[in-house]
């Protein structure tokens, strides 16, 4: 019940944030210079055709009226048609989203597992060479932008060594599996096409690692800091002095409370990966939502830009709510505080 | 007479000048202590040295770059795609320009962008945060902070890319795009600090004495937040430079022939793997600047730790 109330309050707040975001997107798309109808038709289209399209797109109405038209469409899942490709934007998004999701999901898994693993390793061997190596590497990881990682990985593993395919989602001549989830690797497994699965996975690894490295480093740093902090607390010494096996002290007493900040960061990183993916997908020519959004931006395709940002906003806000719920589940103090404030 | 003079030395009259002198001494002592603490950490020193080096390179670029004319429209096809050598330490690009020189001029652009963006963003963000934090619970607070939430609902890169994409791609517009996305982070930081500080005694005593709102905001609250704001600015220099390089990487920033690090990485990527230096050296240059500002920022944070509210 408490959980439901919390959820209801967060969703209620989010609606206002999303409404505000829709206004902001609309302002970016419509008030800033450039005529969308002219952009769509190109410089050589006759003026009367441009006028017709302006009428059709409600561009001659007052701005607030335009906003209402646009919002009404967006709420019904209708983002209009792309000004460049003339395709339905909503369909495009549905088509391109799974590729991004697959990429970001794998990046999230890699960064979570390796980040927590390295952070734990570092904390257990605090102030030894292991710790120092992990700390230096993770510091470099935090300050290096994802597109630099992408270029370096591409150079080393894609081009110089040739171990992994440099671009795309599948090699030529490999049959694509029937679409069930839209995640190429999962679909291939469902269809029993092991060769396709292997090929899709090889395509997926480099972009996923490029996306994961930054997040991974941050998670390793946070995990190490919290764990090192908790390790010196009295309850750990008490547990050890009671003769509780180290495995249990580490796994049950130390790991859980130490994961709280990491989980928060992990969630934010997961949602933030969609934004870093803008460049990474471009570099690896990965046919995902982020590359779609990036191309829309480069071609000033306003309907597609607005739709992509709004979708990413919804994802970001949803992930934030989920993170709050998970952190609440891990941390009894937050649970209690939330209960008291009801 | 002499005796009188001596007494005067023992107990000088508390004049304004004397108080000022005491304050000056106090500040110098604090500065000395701060420097001692800061210099204990070799990484902080390394960060400060890197930032200093990059700043000096950027300022004196026309004099220190081996081929300053290569930052302008320049071609020398006879020396195109040369690998790193003594003459061209970072090699040359596809039209024969010295990459080291262009990287040095690229630093100039990156730092300039960071400085301008922070100069625009910090005053606005801090002011809004101060107002909202001091006016906590009022309608002003609600409006400012909900507006902040909207801007923070999407990662700054995406909105900056979107804004930059509808504007003409150049340096000014990319700085505008990043600035529009960046102020909410300062508003949120200052808001948090201000809403704690406003309950302190020194604020309520100023209120009791009839101090103006401006006095409370700028003379009572703001001086107590300088350290966290300063730390965030140092770290943000790095992030702004990254976002700037991302914008120029996708072609939404500075245009050729002006050397921007992001553009150089993107253009050079076409020549991977054989002419790896065209792309990799500018990429490493970005990492080096950001690393410097982060080490410096972390050093400052450790220095101010415990001072924060």
Considering only CB atoms, which chain A residues are within 8 Å of B265? 147-148, 151
What is chain A's percent helix, strand, coil content, to nearest 5? 75, 0, 25
Query: Residue A276: its pLDDT value, please?
Result: 87
Considering only CB atoms, which chain A residues are within 8 Å of B279? 151, 155
Query: Which tens digit of pLDDT belongs to each residue from A70-91?
Result: 888 888 888 888 877 778 888 8
- Asked whether the bond before A67 is cis by omega within 30 degrees of 0, the reply is no
- Asked whether the bond before B49 is cis by omega within 30 degrees of 0, the reply is no
Does B252 reach chain A within 8 Å, measured CB to CB? Answer: yes
Percent of chain B predicted with pLDDT > 70:
94
Please say whether the dihedral angle defined by the alpha carbons of residues B307, B301, B123 and A265, taken in this order, is positive or negative: negative
CA A210 to mean position of chain CA atoms:
13
| A90/B308 Cα distance (integer angstroms) | 47
Query: Residue B111: its pLDDT value, please?
Result: 93
Query: Which tens digit of pLDDT belongs to each residue from A108-163?
Result: 999 999 999 999 888 888 888 988 888 889 889 988 999 999 999 988 888 888 88
pTM, rounded to two decimals: 0.85
Q: Cβ atoms within 10 A of the Cβ of B236, count?
A: 21
Query: Which tens digit of pLDDT belongs to each residue from B143-188?
Result: 998 889 888 888 888 888 888 888 888 888 889 889 988 999 999 9
Taking Cα atoms as reference points, which of A182, A186, A184, A164 lies closest to residue A284?
Answer: A164
Query: Residue A33: its pLDDT value, please?
Result: 64
Q: Identify the band that residue B33 occupies on the pLDDT scale cut at 50, 70 and 90.
A: confident
Query: Residue A342: its pLDDT value, please?
Result: 43
Which range among A227-231, B190-194, B302-306 has the greatest average pLDDT?
B190-194
Please report where in the chains the tokens 């948090």 appear, as a residue. B192
Contact B163/A32, CB-based, under 8 Å? yes
Instruction: Say which CATH topology domain A99-289 has.
Output: MetI-like fold (1.10.3720)
Considering only CB atoms, which chain A residues are within 8 Å of B159? 24, 28, 309
Write down the mean pLDDT value for chain A.
84
Mutation site, A104, A271, A275, A281, interface B, largest B CB count within 10 A: A275
Taking Cα atoms as reference points, which of B295, B261, B300, B252 lies closest to residue B111?
Answer: B261
Architecture of domain B47-305: Orthogonal Bundle (1.10)
Alpha carbon dihedral B160, B162, B168, B169, in 10-degree steps, equals 60
Considering only CB atoms, which chain B residues are within 8 Å of A300? 165-166
User: What angle (nearest 5°) sits at the alpha carbon of residue B248, between those of residues B186 and B93?
Assistant: 140
Minimum-distance CB partner of B287 among A34, A148, A271: A148
Considering only CB atoms, which chain A residues are within 8 Å of B155? 271-272, 274-275, 312, 316
Does B106 reach chain A within 8 Å, measured CB to CB? Answer: no
pLDDT exceeds 80 at position B309 = no
Please give the residue of chain A at the shortest CA–CA distance from B283: A148
pLDDT exceeds 90 at position A35 = no
Q: Would you say B58 and B104 are in contact if contact means Cβ atoms under 8 Å apart?
A: yes
Please report where in the chains the tokens 């693993």 appear, as a residue. A117
Query: Which tens digit of pLDDT belongs to each residue from A229-286?
Result: 888 888 888 888 888 888 888 877 888 788 888 888 888 888 888 888 888 998 888 8
Q: What average pLDDT does range B236-241 have in this prediction?
A: 90
Considering only CB atoms, which chain B residues are within 8 Å of A305? 162, 165-166
Considering only CB atoms, which chain B residues are within 8 Å of A12? none
Contact A21/B154, CB-based, under 8 Å? yes
| A318/A334 Cα distance (integer angstroms) | 19
| A157/A189 Cα distance (integer angstroms) | 25
- DSSP symbol at B41: -
| B109/B114 Cα distance (integer angstroms) | 9
Crossing angle, helix A255-283 and helix B226-249, to 10 degrees? 30
Query: Residue A36: its pLDDT value, please?
Result: 72
pLDDT exceeds 50 at position B25 = yes
Considering only CB atoms, which chain A residues are within 8 Å of B291? 139-140, 143
Query: Which tens digit of pLDDT belongs to each residue from B55-101?
Result: 999 999 889 888 888 788 877 788 778 888 888 888 888 888 888 98
Contact A152/B280, CB-based, under 8 Å? yes
Query: Residue B119: its pLDDT value, please?
Result: 95
Query: Which tens digit of pLDDT belongs to each residue from A8-26?
Result: 888 888 888 888 888 888 8
Contact B146/A298, CB-based, under 8 Å? no
Contact B147/A20, CB-based, under 8 Å? yes
Q: Identify the band that residue B11 occupies on the pLDDT scale cut at 50, 70 and 90.
A: low
| B118/B39 Cα distance (integer angstroms) | 26
pLDDT exceeds 70 at position A103 = yes
Contact B250/A298, CB-based, under 8 Å? yes
**Is ipTM beyond 0.95?**
no
> How many Cα atoms within 13 Å fall on the side-chain side of residue A312?
38
- Domain spans of chain A, in order of start: 99-289
Query: Which tens digit of pLDDT belongs to each residue from A211-233?
Result: 999 999 989 988 888 888 888 88
Query: Residue A57: its pLDDT value, please?
Result: 76
Q: How many CB pairs under 8 A join A and B?
A: 125
The encoded tokens of residue A110 equal 């890699």
Q: Would you say B168 and B177 are in contact if contact means Cβ atoms under 8 Å apart?
A: no
Q: Identify the band that residue B1 occupies on the pLDDT scale cut at 50, 70 and 90.
A: very low
Q: List the end-to-end C-alpha distance of chain B, in Å, as a whole number.
A: 51
- DSSP symbol at A160: I
Provide the shortest C-alpha distance from residue B22 to chain A (in Å): 40
Q: Identify the band that residue B285 occupies on the pLDDT scale cut at 50, 70 and 90.
A: very high
The encoded tokens of residue B97 equal 């320009």
| B237/B117 Cα distance (integer angstroms) | 9
Q: Identify the band that residue B307 occupies on the pLDDT scale cut at 50, 70 and 90.
A: very low
| B283/B222 Cα distance (integer angstroms) | 38
pLDDT exceeds 60 at position A51 = yes
Q: Which residues are CB-neighbours of A64 under 8 A, at least 6 positions away? A: none
Please report where in the chains the tokens 């709510």 appear, as a residue. A321
Minimum-distance CB partner of A300 among B166, B238, B251: B166
Considering only CB atoms, which chain B residues are within 8 Å of A276? 157
Please give the residue of chain A at the shortest CA–CA distance from B163: A28
Residue ranges of alpha helices (H) inside B11-98 are 16-39, 42-59, 61-64
Query: Residue A74: its pLDDT value, please?
Result: 83
| B249/A283 Cα distance (integer angstroms) | 10
Contact A151/B265, CB-based, under 8 Å? yes
Mutation site, B106, B110, B145, B155, interface A, largest A CB count within 10 A: B155
């Amino acid at each position: 019940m408490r959980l439901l109330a919390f959820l209801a309050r967060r969703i209620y707040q989010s609606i206002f944030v999303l409404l505000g975001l829709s206004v902001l997107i609309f302002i970016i798309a419509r008030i800033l210079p450039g005529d969308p109808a002219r952009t769509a038709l190109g410089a050589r289209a006759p003026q009367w055709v441009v006028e017709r399209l302006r009428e059709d797109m409600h561009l001659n109405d007052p701005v607030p009226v335009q906003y209402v038209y646009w919002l009404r469409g967006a709420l019904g899942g209708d983002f209009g048609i792309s000004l460049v490709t003339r395709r339905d934007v909503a369909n495009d998004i549905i088509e391109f989203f799974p590729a991004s999701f697959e990429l970001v999901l794998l990046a999230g898994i890699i960064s979570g597992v390796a980040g927590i693993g390295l952070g734990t390793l570092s904390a257990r061997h605090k102030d030894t060479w292991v710790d120092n190596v992990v700390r230096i590497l993770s510091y470099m990881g935090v300050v290096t932008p994802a597109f630099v990682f992408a270029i370096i990985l591409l150079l080393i593993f894609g081009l110089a060594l040739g171990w992994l395919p440099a671009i795309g989602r599948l090699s030529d001549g490999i049959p694509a599996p029937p679409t069930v989830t839209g995640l190429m690797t999962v679909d291939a497994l469902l269809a029993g096409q092991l060769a396709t699965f292997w090929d899709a996975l090889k395509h997926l690894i480099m972009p996923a690692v490029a996306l994961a490295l930054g997040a991974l480093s941050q998670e390793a740093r946070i995990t190490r800091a919290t764990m090192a902090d908790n390790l010196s607390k009295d309850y750990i010494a008490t547990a050890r002095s009671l003769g509780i096996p180290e495995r249990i002290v580490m796994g049950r007493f130390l790991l859980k409370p130490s994961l709280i900040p990491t989980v928060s960061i992990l969630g934010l990183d997961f949602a933030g990966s969609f934004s870093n993916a803008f460049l990474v997908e471009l570099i690896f020519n990965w046919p995902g939502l982020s590359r779609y959004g990036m191309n829309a931006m480069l071609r000033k395709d306003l309907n597609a830009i607005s739709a992509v940002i709004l979708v990413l906003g919804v994802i970001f806000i949803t992930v934030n709510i989920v993170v709050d719920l998970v952190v609440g589940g891990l941390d009894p103090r937050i649970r209690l505080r939330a209960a008291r404030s009801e | 007479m002499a005796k009188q003079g001596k007494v005067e030395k023992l107990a000088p009259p508390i004049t304004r000048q004397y108080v000022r002198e005491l304050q000056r001494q106090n500040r110098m002592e604090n500065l000395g202590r701060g420097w001692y603490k800061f210099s204990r950490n070799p990484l902080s020193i390394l960060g400060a040295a890197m930032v200093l080096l990059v700043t000096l390179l950027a300022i004196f670029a026309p004099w220190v770059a081996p081929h300053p004319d290569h930052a302008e429209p320049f071609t020398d096809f006879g020396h195109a795609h040369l690998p790193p050598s003594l003459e061209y330490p970072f090699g040359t690009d596809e039209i024969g320009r010295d990459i080291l020189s262009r990287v040095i001029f690229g630093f100039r652009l990156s730092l300039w962008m960071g400085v301008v963006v922070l100069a625009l963003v910090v005053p606005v963000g801090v002011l809004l945060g101060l107002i909202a934090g001091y006016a906590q619970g009022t309608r002003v607070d609600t409006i400012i902070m909900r507006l902040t939430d909207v801007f923070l609902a999407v990662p700054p890169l995406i909105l900056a890319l979107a804004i930059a994409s509808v504007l003409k791609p150049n340096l000014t517009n990319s700085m505008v795009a990043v600035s529009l996305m960046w102020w909410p982070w300062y508003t949120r930081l200052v808001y948090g600090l201000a809403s704690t500080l406003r309950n302190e005694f020194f604020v309520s005593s100023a209120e009791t004495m009839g101090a103006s709102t401006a006095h409370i905001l700028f003379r009572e609250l703001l001086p107590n937040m300088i350290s966290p704001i300063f730390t965030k600015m140092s770290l943000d220099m790095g992030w702004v430079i990254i976002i700037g390089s991302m914008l120029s990487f996708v072609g939404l920033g500075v245009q050729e022939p002006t050397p921007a690090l992001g553009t150089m990485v993107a253009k050079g990527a076409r020549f991977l793997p054989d002419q790896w230096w065209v792309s990799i050296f500018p990429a490493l240059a970005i990492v080096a600047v950001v690393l410097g500002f982060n080490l410096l920022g972390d050093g400052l944070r450790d220095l101010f730790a415990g001072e924060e509210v």
